[in-house]
Structure 1
C-alpha cells in the first residue's frame, strides 16, 4: 500500500520505518527540515534499538522517504497522524494544535477513498470532531483512530508484532476496516487480536491502559514507604504478591517511579478531560498516583543527603543514569534527571553520565556536569546514585567502583543491584569501611 505518516518524531519515525519494512511504500512528512535530513540519511534523531538498521534498509529499498512537502501525500491512500500531544503549560490538558494542524494540512490533498488514521494519544471526543472536519471538506475521505501502544526501547518490535490492534471506526465503515486490515496484514496473519470499536472506545484504550499501569507502579512505591517504616523488604513483598495471577509481577519494581513523555502526561490529560466531562471524581485516584510518583524523587534526594552526612553542599555525587528508562535517550519528565537537578540545586557537585542520554540531557539542563563514562563519574565521589537501570550499570563490578570512590556509598534508586554482593565487596580494599548500599525503595542500611 501507499502510506503517508504525518509527524516524524518518535512515534512517526518508528511507524514509517516499520510500515516500509513490511513492504508498504511510505512517505514521512515533518515540518522540521533538520529532522527530515537526519531521517533521510538513515539516522534517527533519538535513540531506539534496531531503528537505525531498519531505517537504512527501508530507505535503500526505495520504499521509504522523508520530506517537508505535505503535497507528497497525494499518492498515498492511508495517512497516519503521528504528531505529539504535549501537556499545555499551566494546565494538565493536552495540546491538540499539532493534531489539528496535521489534519488541516492533509485536507487539500485527500481523495475519495482515502483514510486518515489518528495514532496520536488524544482526549476522548477528538476523533469524532476530526472525522466531521474530514467529512465536511468534501473529498470523500474518512477518518479512523488506531492508537499506538509502543514501549520505548521496544518500539520496533511493538510495531512489527503488536500485542493487539484497535480500530476506532465510524458506524458501518467497512472500507476503513478493510484498508487497515491491508496495512496490518502481516500482524493479522500471525493471529494478532483485533478490536473494532467506535471512536470514543479507541481513544480511551490507550489512556485507560496507562491509567491502569500507573497505579500499579505507584502502589508498590507506596508499599516501599511502609516497608521502610516497618523493616520489611519491598522486593520480597513484590515477589510474593506477584505470584497471585490476579496481580502479576510486572510493574511491581519499587524505586524512583515512572516518567517519560507519555505516561505522566497521558494520565494528567485523562484527568483534565474527565473534569471537562463532569466525571472527574471517577479518576480522582490518579491524583494520588501522580503524587506518590513525584514523592519518590524527593525521597531519593533525602536518601543521598542522609548517606553523605546530612548536607550535600560541596559533596561530589556521581549520578548513573539520566534517561527515564533504559534503552532510551528520552529525558522528558525523567525521575533520574529530576533528582540530579535537585541535588545540584542543593549545592552538590553532580557528575552525571548515561549511555545514551547525555546530549538530550545537556540540551535541557546545560548546567549539570556531564561525563562520558562511569569511571569518570564515580572517581572521587562522596556518594553514587544509580537512577536508571541500564544493563551496564546492573553489571558493574562493586570492587572496582568501591576502589574509585572517595566514600563507599551507593544509593540504588532502582533496586537493581544485589545488596549482599555489593556490601560484601566493601571490605576488599578497606575492611574498616564497608561498601554501604542504600536501596532507594527499601531504605534499610546494613
Structure 2
C-alpha cells in the first residue's frame, strides 16, 4: 500500500546514495554570506562552529522534497523516486485537491509514461514471478527463456529489484516535509507578470517568493535548496538575502537546476535528457553541493551529460534555450507566409533546409504558433532582462519573436473567416485539439483559446471542440473564464461553444474543421510503427536493445541494468492497491457520465485515427478543412470532397 502522507520512511530501507551535502562551517554558506554581484556566483562565508545543528562529516541523501505538484514538479519527482528507490521523495503542494489526485488513479496531468512510473514508485511492487506463457497475448513471441536469463544475470550481479517499497509520497503538509529533507527542490509556476512594473514581460515571482520564504523558514540547517522553476538571473541572490534575514548564522547552499521538459515528452526528457545543468557557487562548498545533486542524477544519466556551471550561467541558460527554440518556430512560421503568397510548400522548404547539418530539422515545422507555459514567458523574461540592463536593441530583437508568433495565429484565423465569405453567422466551426501540443493535457497559453476568442466575435452558430487528451470538464471551466471578454461563451450558458467527447459528433454538420493541435489521431496518413531502438523518437519511452521486452509494455532502463525493466502489463497484479479518487475527480465524473471512457493512460499506442470519410459524409457543403499544423495530405482530402487550406500552402 502507499505510505500515509505523514508516514516516517523506514530507515532500514534507506541505502546510502554515495553523495554528501556541505557539512562543515568552512564548506557551507550561512545567513551572512554575500553573493558577489560582479563575480560569477562566488560568495564569502562566515560560520559558527558552535552551532549544534551544523552537520558534521558527509551524510547520504535520504529525503528529497519537491515543492510544487504541477507539470514540472510531479513528473520530475516521480522519475527521481523511480530511479532512486533508496531515497524518499516527497512532493508537496498547498492545493489539497491536486494532492488528492496525485494520490489517486486519475493523476491531475497527462504525460505518456507518467502513470506507470508513479504507480511503481508511489504504490510499490510485490515480489512477482515471471509471467506464465499462457498470460501472453495471442501471437506474442515466446521470450520467457530470455526473461529467465536476465533473472539469472540479476542474481549474478546481486540485483534484487523484483520488488520495492513505495518511496514517492504526495502531501499537503508543506512545512513538515521541508523540515525532513536533505534537498528541497522549488518547482512552482513562474508566469509573466500582468500588472505593475514590468507588466507583460517580467516574470511574476509571487509564488516562487512565497515558497522560497517557506523553504528558508522550515528547511533543516545544512539542506540544499534547488531552483527548478524557470527564474530570472540573480534569483539565487534573492534567496540568499532571505536566509540572511530569517536564518542568520545557519548554513545552506543554493543550486540552480533548470528543467528542460517538453509537454508530451516529459518522461522521455527526464529519462534520456540531452543535458542536466547544475549551477552553484564557485566555492568548494558550492561545488560539493553540485556534486551531491549530480549524484542523484548519475544513477541513470551519463556523467558526460551532467554539466556544472556557475549559478548565473545556469539560471540564464534556460531562458536562452527556450528563446532560441521559439525563435526557430517564429522564423519558419514567417517563411510560411511567403510560401502561401508564392506557391511554395512550407513542408518542402523545411525538409530542404533541415538537411543542412548547420541548421538541422528540429523545430522547423510550421504551424499556428507555439503555446505552452514556457516559450512566450521565457522570451519575454529575456526581453525584460535586456531592457532593464539598457540593451534596448537586444530586447526589441527578441520581442519580435513573440510578435511573429501572434501574427501567425491571427493570420490563420483571418484565413478561416475569409474563406467562409467573411461571415460565420449561423455556421458551425469545429476545432480538433485544444491542448497546445499533442500527447498532453496542458492548455496553458494554448493558441486554441485565442482562436476561439476571435471566432466568437464573428457570431458563429456553434464552435465545437474535441480534444483526445483534455477532459471536457476542464475545457469548459477555462471557456467559462472568457466571460470577462463579453457575453457567456459556453452553449450551456447561452453562448456558442460546445465541448464534445466524440469526434464525429463534434464534426457533424460542420461548415469548417480546424486542426489546432497535431494529434496523430487527426492525421489522414498511416502511422508508421515505432521500431525497437535504443534511441527512440520523442514521445516514446526508451527501450534498451540488450533487454527483453514483454509485448504490450515499455522498458525503462537504468544505464542498461536489467533491474529497471518495467513489466507494467504483467506486474499490474503485483502492484499494491491503487488509492481511490476524491468524490470531485473530473475524470471519474467523465467515466460515470454519458461520455466515452477516458483514454487509459497506460495504453496510448496504437492510436485510433479518425475516419475522415465518415467526417466528410456528415459535413455541410462546401466542406472546408483548415490545417493549422501541416499534418494533412491534401490530395487525399480533395478526393473526399474537402477543400483544404494549410499553413504554408497556397491552398485549394
TM-score between both structures, scaled by the size of structure 1: 0.94
Tell me how large the CA RMSD over aligned residues is. Answer: 1.6
2:477 maps to 1:363? yes
Q: Is the partner of 1:187 in helix, strand or coil?
A: coil
Q: What residue in structure 1 maps to residue 346 of structure 2? A: 234
**Conservation of the 8 A alpha-carbon contact between 2:334 and 2:408:** no
**What residue number does 1:421 align with?**
636
Q: CA deviation at 1:94?
A: 0.9
Structure 2 counterpart of 1:131, from 231, 240, 244: 240
CA distance in structure 2 between the partners assigned to 1:276 and 1:187 by the alignment: 40
For 1:7 and 1:290, how far apart are their aligned partners in 2? 28
Q: Is the 8 A contact 2:345 2:648 kept in 1?
A: no
In structure 1, the partner of 2:651 is: 444
Alignment match, 1:380: 509
Q: Secondary structure at the match of 1:365?
A: helix
Deviations 1:394-429 (A, max 9, x none): 143332221111122111111101011111222xxx
Partner of 2:261: 150
Q: Over alpha carbons, which structure has the higher Rg?
A: 2
Which stretch of the first structure deviates more once superposed, 283-292 or 133-142? 133-142
Deviation string, structure 1 residues 107-132 (Cα, Å, up to 9, x no partner)? 23323331000100011111222134
Per-residue deviation, residues 420-443 of structure 1 (Å, max 9, x unmatched)? 1111222xxxxxxxx211113324
Per-residue Cα deviation, 1:14-54 (whole angstroms, up to 9, x for no partner): 11111110122111111111111111225321222221222
Contact 2:338 2:648 in 1 (8 A): no
Deviation at 1:345?
2.4
Q: RCO (CA 8 Å, sep 6+): is it higher in 1 or 2?
A: 2
1:204 to 313, 316, 329: 316
Name the SS for the 2:510 alignment partner.
coil
Q: Does 1:86 align with 2:191?
A: yes
Residue correspondence of structure 1 range 18-417 to structure 2 within 5 A: 18-22=79-83, 23=85, 24-61=87-124, 62-69=166-173, 70-90=175-195, 91=199, 92-134=201-243, 137=247, 138-172=249-283, 173-188=286-301, 190-348=302-460, 349-357=462-470, 358-366=472-480, 367=490, 368-394=497-523, 395-407=609-621, 408-417=623-632
**Contact 2:112 2:264 (8 Å CA) reproduced:** yes
Question: Matched residue of 1:47: which SS?
Answer: coil
Partner residue in 1 for 2:546: none
* Runs of at least 4 residues off by over 6 Å: none
Give the conservation status (yes or no) of the 8 Å contact 1:213–1:251: yes
**Contact preservation (8 Å) 1:322, 1:334:** yes
Gaps of 5+ in 2: 1-61, 125-165, 481-489, 491-496, 524-608
C-alpha distance in structure 2 between counterparts of 1:443 and 1:255, whole Å: 14
- State how far apart, in whole Å, the 1-side matches of 2:69 and 2:370 are: 25
Q: Deviations over 1:59-82 (max 9, x none)?
A: 113201122212122221011000
TM-score (norm 2): 0.65
CA distance in 2, matches of 1:103, 1:197: 22
Contact residue 277 and residue 306 of structure 2 kept, 8 A: yes
Give the CA deviation at 1:143. 0.8
Contact 2:186 2:211 survives alignment (8 Å):
yes
Residues 111 and 139 in structure 1, CA contact (< 8 A), matched pair in contact too: no
Secondary structure of 2:81's partner? helix
